[in-house]
Each structure stands twice: as structure tokens, then as C-alpha cells.
Amino acid sequence: MGETVLITGGAGFIGRHLARALLDKGDRVRVLDSFIDQVHHDRSARAELGPDVDVQEGDVRDGDAVARALKGVDKVVHLAAEVGVGQSMYAIDRYVSVNDLGTATLFQKLIDNPVRRVVVASSMSIYGEGLYRDRDGKLYEEVLRSGRNPDGSWDPLDPEGRPMEPAPTPESKRPTLASVYAISKYTQERLTLTLAPAYGMEGVALRLWNAYGPGQALSNPYTGVLAIFASRIHNGMPPVIFEDGQQRRDFVHVSDVARAFILALDHPRAAGGVYNVGSGEDRTVEEVATLLAESMGRRDLPPEIAGVARAGDIRHCIPDIDRICEDLGYEPLADFREGLAELAEWVARQQAVDRVAEARRELEARGLVV
């Protein structure tokens, strides 16, 4: 007989995929979600979860709603969060309230309704800039940028003024919190890893890289970058990339993310751990935008390079995933080009409102684009 798993924020992109994966392995799934308009403007998520999921509508900051959702639960996946680096820099009270007060409320109710394990979705954003290597092979953990270099380039420079290259970032790298979103995600992570063992539970934190796949919120201009690009291309507009497009990222398919959560929920060695979750392959953002346009049959829409930066953005961050592979047996299985083709096929059947220009105006009005 399976276990009962509560997924906070479970009607979102990752939550819906995880719910299906848990049902497939025989677990019972309950979802607590507030169904905010920015993410769920068409209210289709409830139907997508299907009749086998116990869906409870409520805010994670509402203690009564959380207490009801925890009744009879064995394990919790905490996904509920406001998501978006750029928006977090001006919607400060909203992000801190939902992400951090929401996590505090969850644990306040877990004191009286303890579960065996809580897995929280953390983020690559907590690292800030990733690990870097200079031309002599020396590694740098705490790299800060002040925007474009005097020669017009964007890559961080070593003390001698030479550009550095990104290196895979391990979990041991010290956080460099460069946005309100990053600060709030790190707080979620630390609350989980501090409070769970204090009350006889197990805590696990997964630091997620850029998840993609069918089911992303295409009309949310602060969601994952591939969904934002897909929405633009779907509406006949070129994807817009900040800086020069040569930022390097790891894009991990949502099916691999869901399997990572299941391992974090079930594997004995996961308790107390912090794990990077990525694909192990990195690409430039310009390359990804170009490949997505090709997958969507729109080679005539090459990316538009903005040549400006957003406050809170980082240059390069790619994951070292050795720990989760060795400890939990995680193995990323999705092929990136096949994943893009699957995403393109799904997007072709959707309606998407392009709100990217609106979001950029919000940032510019507050001086957050430089």
C-alpha cells in the first residue's frame, strides 16, 4: 500500500507532473494550491490533475488550510512559492510573504501534525554566480559582477582582468544571494533543514535548475525562460534575451525533476541532504532560443539580443550533479532535442498571452534594467 503525499503548490507545472508520477507508483496524492491568476489564469490545472488527486484550494499562509491538508499525510513536498527573479525585486513583500511566511506556517502546523519527510524545492538562484575557473585553473566561489565590462563583454573577470569560465557548481559552494527570490528560496531551504529534524522529521532540499516541458504557464512572463520564449514564438514574436545571449544554463526536463523528487521522498540516504537537480548538460541561452524556434517551425524568428541586464540576474551557473547521482541513483534520462520537440508540439495546441513587454516595462520603470 502506498503513502499519502501532500504537494503544496501542487497544481503548478512541476507539481502536476510529480502528482502523476506518485500516482503511477501507487501513492495517494493531495494538493494544496491557491490557484493564483498569474499562474492559473485559465483554471485548467484542476482538471489536469484528474479525479485521483485530492485537491484542496487554499493559501499556504493560511494555517487552518494547511492543518486540514496535513491530516493523514505521510510525507510533504513543499513547492508552494512565488517564482521569478525579476518580479521579486519589486514585489518584495509578496515574495517574502508567500515563500518564507508560507514555509513558516507549514512548519508551525507540522509541529502538531508531523510527517516522516519534507522535501522542499530550493533553487539554483541561491548560488548567485556559479563556480568559475580562471585561465590558470584556479577556482573562484564568490564572484560578483557590476554589469558590462569596460570592453563591452559580460563575463566576470579575474583579479588580473581576464575573463573566467564557468565550472560545474557543487552543493558545497557558499550561497551568494543576488535577488529577493534567491533570499526567500534559501530561507525556505534552511527552515526545512533546521525545523524538520528538530521535530523528529526528515528534511531534504532539492536545488532545481531550469525545468522545462509541456504544461508550463505560457502566459506568466516570470516563469521558466523556455516557457517565456515559447510564448513569444507562438505569438509570432522573437524571443528576447538579456545581455549577449551567451549566458550558460542547464535545462532539465520536468520528468527528470519529478523522478528526483520521488528519490528525495523515498531514498534512505536523502534525509538531511541538499542536492542539485539538473541534466548535466549546459548550453547558451541564445542556442536554446534558436533550437526552440526551429522546433516550433519558426526559423524566421531568431532571438533578439537586448544588450542590457536585469538586476538580480547572474551570468553563468551550471550544476555539478555528482552528489544526487551517487547518493540517490539519480540519472537524467530526457534528451534535450526530443524534449524541445515535445514542448513545441504541446505549445502548438495552446493559447498564450505574450506579457513579456509588459513585464519589461515594469522592470524598466523601477530602474531594474541596466
Does 218 map to a domain? yes
Structural domain for 207, as ranges:
4-365
Which runs of E-coded beta strand occur in the chain?
4-8, 28-33, 53-57, 75-78, 117-123, 131-133, 139-140, 165-167, 202-208, 210-212, 240-241, 248-253, 274-277, 282-284, 304-305
Backbone angles phi, psi at 71, to 5 degrees: -60, 125
Alpha-carbon gap, residue 273 to 113, rounded angstroms: 22
Cβ-based neighbour number of residue 142 at 10 Å: 12
Cβ-based neighbour number of residue 64 at 10 Å: 9
Alpha-carbon gap, residue 368 to 51, rounded angstroms: 43
DSSP label at 157? Answer: B
pTM: 0.91
- Quote the pLDDT of residue 370: 47
Does 242 map to a domain? yes
Mean pLDDT, rounded, for 359-368: 54
CA distances from 219 to 6, 40, 48 (A): 27, 9, 17
Mean pLDDT, rounded, for 235-245: 92
Does 140 map to a domain? yes
Identify whether the C-beta of residue 208 lies closer than 8 Å to the C-beta of residue 277: yes
Does 38 map to a domain? yes
For 168, the 3-state DSSP assignment is coil
Residue-wise pLDDT tens digits, 280-316: 999 999 999 999 999 999 999 999 998 988 776 789 9
Which pLDDT band, with edges at 50, 70 and 90, does 39 fall under? low
CA distances from 204 to 148, 149, 239 (A): 37, 39, 35
Q: How many domains does the chain have?
A: 1
Alpha-carbon gap, residue 21 to 25, rounded angstroms: 7
- Quote the pLDDT of residue 266: 98
Give the side-chain half-sphere CA count within 13 A for 295. Answer: 22
Does 44 map to a domain? yes
Mean pLDDT, rounded, for 236-264: 95
- Quote the pLDDT of residue 220: 58
Residue-wise pLDDT tens digits, 142-168: 888 777 888 889 999 999 999 999 999
Does 370 map to a domain? no
Does 136 map to a domain? yes
Whether pLDDT at 247 is above 50: yes
Which CATH number goes with the domain that contains 251?
A: 3.40.50.720
Alpha-carbon gap, residue 192 to 106, rounded angstroms: 10
Does 104 map to a domain? yes
CA distances from 135 to 130, 140, 145, 166 (A): 16, 12, 18, 11
The chain-wide mean pLDDT, for the chain, equals: 90
- Quote the pLDDT of residue 37: 60
Residue-wise pLDDT tens digits, 170-219: 999 999 998 999 999 999 999 999 999 999 999 999 999 999 999 887 65
- Residue 309 C-alpha cell reads as 541586464
Identify whether the C-beta of residue 197 lies closer than 8 Å to the C-beta of residue 272: yes
